[in-house]
Structure formats: structure tokens, C-alpha cells
């Protein structure tokens, strides 16, 4: 699942190309008349909602794009915000597309950059058409992604955002606030707490594994048992690794691509994530990277240099 660095990379890309454009059409093949899944009600996967979504957004100008946790927020001129959550396999692509009626699908037009034609970029399920004849396409092979519409002035009170924790890269998120957030679950395992979006927003499997390795903390360590010096180190490594992820354009070990259809490069810098059975890269450590399921999520860590507290 795309995490804070991937969603930030996407948001920065969209902020460069979308403001000022007017939505002229919206297409999806996800909308169903009889939607039985509760989590899809109030999203474009519900036909009734999509009809309203399309009617209200066509003709609106894009004002700006921002990120909150793992959500992309596209604000429009009439006080509506398009909220997009990429979920497991989603990513957004910007360019010119052509609708192939007989196949009911969209393909990049000839002459577009070659990266848009990559196999990972062919699962197009939502397309926004703009006044300059360009398109924003939502590619999502597993169709878990979420697209909905909210009133901009109440978006932070919506069910999508109201329970989210603080942003880890904000200057106001200090060491004291970090420790206080973690200690709201003192008896829980640190790996699980770091990934809890109500505690800290935006961290997932990849970056939690990496920051714990850098801090030499076993992911099964109990939050309340971790020494203050280690928590300070974890705080600093969290900031650094998330910034590094952004600088490298995100992680494309799996499906993620930026709006140009290109891979990020963070996957070339993994210390532990997806390195099961490989030797630990820490100088002088003879450990081996192991994979273990913790709280229903996989975790990768060194069996020697990461200490259990």
C-alpha cells in the first residue's frame, strides 16, 4: 500500500499540473447499481453516488491539491473536495488517454511518454477529463481504492479524516508529542502502534520496518518498555526515513508509480523490507533478516541487532 512518501510524491506531482484546469467529464467502470458492501456506499463505486459526483464536479476548476495521511485531497472552485485513497494497488497517472469503446477501457494516446504504457499502468478504472484535453487516470489492479467527494469546509470532520493522528513530518510534531502518541497504547507492540493511523498518520509496512531497523528496535517490543533514548532515536529515524522516501520518489517494489507512470527509487535502499533470509547489512552484524506476521501484518527485521524491550 502506498504510504506517506508515495502519496506525497503523487500529491506534489498533481499540484504542478492540475490547478487551473476545469473538469469536463468523469468516467468509471466501478459504479454498481446494487452496491452491497457498506464501505463502498458514498463512493463512486455506488452508482447513485457517482451520478451525483459527476453532476456536481463537471465544470469545477481545480484550486489545489494536498495530502492528509494516505489521502489525496483535490480541492475545487465550488467548495467541493475530491478525496482519493490509493489503498493496496492504486496510483494516479496524468497524460492524454483515448477511450477504446469496444473494450470499454482507456489507453494512453500515441506520442505520450513511454512510461504510461508500462504493464502496471494498464488497470484504469476512473478517468477525469480536463478542459485542456488531458486526463487524470486512476490505475488500480485490485480495485480497492476509494474515490469520494466532500464539502471542503467540513472535510476534517468527515469520517474519512476526523480520527487520523498527527502528521509525522510537521514541525509541530515534536519528540514529546511523538512519545505521548505512542504511550496512548503502552502495552501494544511498537510495530503495530507505528502503523496505527489514529496514532501517527501515513506510516505503513515499508517505512515502519526501516525505521525500526535503523533504531535497532525489535518490532515486537512493548511500547512502554522501550527506553527514552531509543524512542528519541526512533523519532529521528522516522523523520529521516520518510524524508528520504520522498526524496527518492517513493517505493515501487510493488505497483506504485508516480503521475508520469514512472517508478520511485526507495526500493533500492531497503535494509530489511522484503529481504527475508538475507544477511543484515549493518556493519559488524552477523544477523539474518527474518519475516514474521505481527498484528496480521508482515514485519521484516534482523534477528540479532534489533533488541527486544
Closest residue by Cα to residue 307 from 223, 218, 230, 176:
218
Is 2 part of the annotated catalytic residue set? yes
Is 3 part of the annotated catalytic residue set? yes
Closest residue by Cα to residue 173 from 82, 249, 236, 247:
236
Beta bridge partners of 68: 71
What b-and-e string marks burial along 120-156, b requiring 16 or more CB atoms within 10 Å of the CB?
bbebbbbbbbbeeeebbbbbbbeeebbbbbbebeebe
What gap in Å lies between CA 299 and CA 295, rounded to an integer? Answer: 9
The single residue of 3, 46, 210, 237 carrying the catalytic annotation is: 3
Is 282 part of the annotated catalytic residue set? no
Closest residue by Cα to residue 60 from 22, 14, 87:
22
What gap in Å lies between CA 126 and CA 85, rounded to an integer? Answer: 13
The single residue of 68, 70, 146, 257 carrying the catalytic annotation is: 70
Give me the active site residues, please.
2-3, 70, 297
Amino acid at each position: 500500500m502506498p504510504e506517506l512518501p508515495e502519496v506525497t510524491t503523487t500529491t506534489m506531482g498533481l499540484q504542478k499540473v492540475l490547478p487551473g484546469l476545469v473538469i469536463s467529464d468523469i468516467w468509471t467502470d466501478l459504479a454498481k447499481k446494487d452496491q452491497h458492501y457498506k464501505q463502498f456506499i458514498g463512493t463512486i463505486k455506488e452508482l447513485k453516488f457517482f451520478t451525483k459526483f459527476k453532476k456536481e464536479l463537471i465544470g469545477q476548476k481545480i484550486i489545489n491539491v494536498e495530502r492528509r495521511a494516505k489521502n489525496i485531497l483535490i480541492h475545487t472552485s465550488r467548495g467541493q473536495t475530491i478525496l482519493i485513497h490509493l489503498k493496496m494497488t492504486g496510483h494516479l497517472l496524468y497524460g492524454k488517454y483515448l477511450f477504446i469503446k469496444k473494450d470499454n477501457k482507456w489507453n494512453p494516446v500515441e506520442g505520450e511518454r513511454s512510461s504510461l504504457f508500462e504493464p502496471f499502468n494498464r488497470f484504469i478504472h476512473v478517468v477525469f477529463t480536463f478542459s485542456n484535453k488531458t486526463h487524470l487516470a486512476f490505475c488500480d489492479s485490485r480495485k480497492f481504492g476509494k474515490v469520494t467527494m466532500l464539502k471542503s469546509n467540513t472535510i476534517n470532520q468527515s469520517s474519512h479524516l476526523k480520527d487520523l493522528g498527527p502528521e509525522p513530518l510537521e514541525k509541530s510534531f515534536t519528540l514529546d508529542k511523538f512519545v505521548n502518541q505512542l504511550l496512548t497504547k503502552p502495552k501494544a507492540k511498537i510495530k503495530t502502534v507505528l502503523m496505527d493511523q489514529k496514532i501517527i498518520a501515513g506510516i505503513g509496512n515499508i517505512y515502519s520496518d526501516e525505521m525500526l531497523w535503523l533504531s535497532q528496535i525489535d518490532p515486537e517490543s512493548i511500547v512502554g518498555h522501550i527506553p527514552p533514548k531509543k524512542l528519541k532515536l526512533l523519532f529521528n529515524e522516522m523523520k529521516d526515513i520518510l524524508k528520504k522516501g520522498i526524496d527518492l520518489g517513493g517505493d515501487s517494489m510493488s505497483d506504485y508509480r508516480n503521475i508520469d507512470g514512472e517508478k520511485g527509487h526507495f526500493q533500492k535502499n531497503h535494509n530489511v523490507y522484503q529481504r527475508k533470509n538475507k544477511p543484515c547489512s549493518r556493519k559488524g552484524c552477523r544477523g539474518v533478516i527474518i519475516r514474521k506476521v505481527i498484528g496480521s501484518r508482515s514485519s521484516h527485521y534482523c534477528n540479532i541487532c534489533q533488541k527486544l524491550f
